[in-house]
Structure 1
Amino acid sequence: MRELGPRAREIVATAREVLESEGPRALTMRRIADELGIRAPSLYKHVPHKTALETAIVVDGFQEAAQRFEAAVDGAADPLGAFVDAYRAFAAAHPHVYRLMTQRPLPRDDMPPGLEARTAAPLLRAVGSPQRARAAWAFVHGMTVLELDARLPDDGVTEDAWREGIAAFRPPPPAAGRPEEH
């Protein structure tokens, strides 16, 4: 992905605001142009097509999420709990961006090198292995989507389910007499 110029960054920021406030149906090139007070064809000088615009929003979302996850986990007494809290908060604050980031194939070839790994690194540090991190992400993502879709009953069990799920992904304690592996 090439570096965005100032006007392209403005277009992406405006598109993200429209997406966040009005939902995915409002994310059209015409709607973004109207919001910026320009004609839709002018957008194409800076963003070649809607898919590129959506990819730029995904990249922006991943950059924000990575910062939030890093800040949450760094120095936390309970890194996994801190990661999960930050993940849920990000998704709740940005449900349309979150869905754009997670509900279709990830445009890896158009993302900055290392961004996906940077975003995943706090979870990997919290659980200790790539396999456990992937399984934990599947749990956290699934529960998050169920929350966003209001699919979990309001019966007082959800927070207990979160605690049980998180506990299942905590790294095992180091074996007695052996130094902890890093």
Structure 2
Amino acid sequence: MPDRIEQIVEAARALIEEGGSQALTMRAIADRLGIRAPSLYKHFPDKLAVEAGVIAIAMNELAAELAKAESLTELAAAYRAYALEHPHLYRLMNSGPLPRHLLPAGVEDRAALPLVRVAGNEDLARAIWAFAHGMVILELDGRFPPGADLGSAWRTGLSAFGFADTAAKTRPGGSRTR
């Protein structure tokens, strides 16, 4: 990425991390960079294109974290950890239609590859991702009752996909069960 484009995307990411997608405006990006908002349009046609740049970076980061996983349980733990550490980025990546036409070629596939590799096929990977996304978004939204054993819920959900051996060994979040 050329320097100014990278600066714009970094500023946009910071705004999203701090205040969610609603904090991202072209004026807020320009203010953060100390430039005038119209200058941004030399590099990006609109806010959606800037968001796509942020999504691409986040997907690459998530893909790198997921690639370290050797089991479904490790993968689920990494996915959950990324979402909880970057809740606003997670929502941007996973809420509403994905602007695929604005993303770099292959970025979505790179993000999905670790799960497809562990699951063994795309259909099972999609089902597992839907479970993981549901669990994460409910956790982010504070929808589980206080004191709910989310580690147990994750293990139960993962074992339902036929991964009982790996699901019983490690809790999402990385802690071992005994």
User: For structure 2, which runs of at least 5 residues remain unmatched after alignment?
Assistant: 166-178
Larger Cα-atom Rg: 1
RMSD: 1.6
Give the letter aligned to residue 50 of structure 1. Answer: K
CA distance in 1, matches of 2:74, 2:150: 17
User: For structure 1, which runs of at least 5 residues remain unmatched after alignment?
Assistant: 174-182
TM-score (ref. length: structure 2): 0.87
Residue pair 2:16, 2:23 contacting (<8 A) in 1 also: yes
Paired position in structure 1 for 2:78: 86
Cα-to-partner distance string for 1:2-57 (whole Å, 9 max, x where unaligned): xx422111100011011101222210110110111111111111122111111111
Q: Which moved more, 1:139-148 or 1:93-102?
A: 93-102
Cα-to-partner distance string for 1:100-136 (whole Å, 9 max, x where unaligned): 1111111112222221111111111112121111110
Paired position in structure 2 for 1:69: 66
12, 15, 18: which one pairs with 2:15? 18
Please give the secondary structure, in 1, of the residue aligned with 2:145: coil
TM-score (ref. length: structure 1): 0.85
Paired position in structure 1 for 2:31: 34
Paired position in structure 1 for 2:47: 50
Paired position in structure 2 for 1:100: 92
**Paired residues, number:** 165
Paired position in structure 2 for 1:121: 113
CA distance in 1, matches of 2:45, 2:19: 23
